[in-house]
Amino acid sequence: MDLHRPPRRPHAWWLLLAASQLLVAAIWWRYGWRIGLPAMMLSHLPFWWGVLRPQSRMYGPVLSRLPIAEPRVWLTIDDGPSDDTAAILDLLDAHRAKATFFLVGERAAARPALVREIARRGHGIGNHSASHPSAWFWILGPWRMRREIEQCQKTLTELSGTAPRWFRAVVGHANPFVSAPLRDLGLARAAWNARGFDAVRYDVDGVVAMIERDLAPGGIVLLHEGARHGRNVEMIAALLRRLDARGYSTVLPEEVAPEPR
């Protein structure tokens, strides 16, 4: 199985929606509103689940873990570049670790030297939207969604010299309009299976303990930089020490051999 899987049928969810609502209409006609109304509300739940659960494949493929048995994990760092980026790069070098930085287009344009430095040091660069509209990314319409993804892709490609291959939805909430621009740009969506809520929590030990609780071979670890609490560098340093202590190394998805067919 190829890990990098851009959506192939970005509009397939329309068929599911149409089929479900035809079924609801039939139930409503046969049994009336007392049963039809609850049936309609229940029929919408899978589509909302597809938006709110980062690992859901309702709207296209999403990578939530790497298919490896060795103690290696994919470190992913969202929301940069920021004042933290240079220190994080030095930490990664000190631990001989690699990570993918999911960058925000507008922040990258404001700090182009950091984008180039991330690439120079051999780390991955992923698309994390142009402006990071965290409060309303999940309800963006098709035109705004496309603009967010395409503009970020353009900015990061120009600055790094290489087009990103991976996309992470803002807050992980990928609505139905994410898949079409991902297909057109050859982007695959990445989620995670280990996180410590380091964007909002400021307890370093607590954040690392939460991540460690879910740590397993092939894990995708969600990290952040530039949070208001100012402790992301400490958190990443502490996590890297725990990885070393437990015998874990890091890996980028491009370094994982495809599974045999």
Domain ranges of the chain: 12-52, 62-252
Contacts 24+ apart (CB under 8 A), 213-218: 215/73, 215/246, 215/248, 216/65, 217/68, 217/69, 217/70, 217/71, 217/72, 217/73, 218/65, 218/66, 218/67, 218/68, 218/69, 218/72, 218/73
Identify the pLDDT of residue 68.
95
Peptide bond into 81 cis (omega under 30): yes
Identify the pLDDT of residue 22.
78
The CATH number corresponding to 62-252 among 3.75.10.10, 3.30.390.10, 3.20.20.370, 3.40.50.1010 equals 3.20.20.370
The pTM of the full predicted model, rounded to 2 decimals, is 0.92
- Contact present, 216 and 186 (Cβ < 8 Å): no
Identify the pLDDT of residue 134.
93
Identify the pLDDT of residue 16.
72
Identify the pLDDT of residue 34.
82
Using DSSP, state whether 235 is helix, strand or coil: helix
Strand partners, 126: 102
- Contact present, 6 and 183 (Cβ < 8 Å): yes
Residue by residue, pLDDT tens for the chain (261 residues) are: 589 999 988 777 667 766 777 775 777 778 887 887 776 777 667 767 778 889 998 889 999 999 999 999 999 999 999 999 999 999 999 999 999 999 999 999 999 999 999 999 999 999 999 999 999 999 999 999 999 999 999 999 999 999 999 999 999 999 999 999 999 999 999 999 999 999 999 999 999 999 999 999 999 999 999 999 999 999 999 999 999 999 999 999 999 976 555
Identify the pLDDT of residue 18.
67
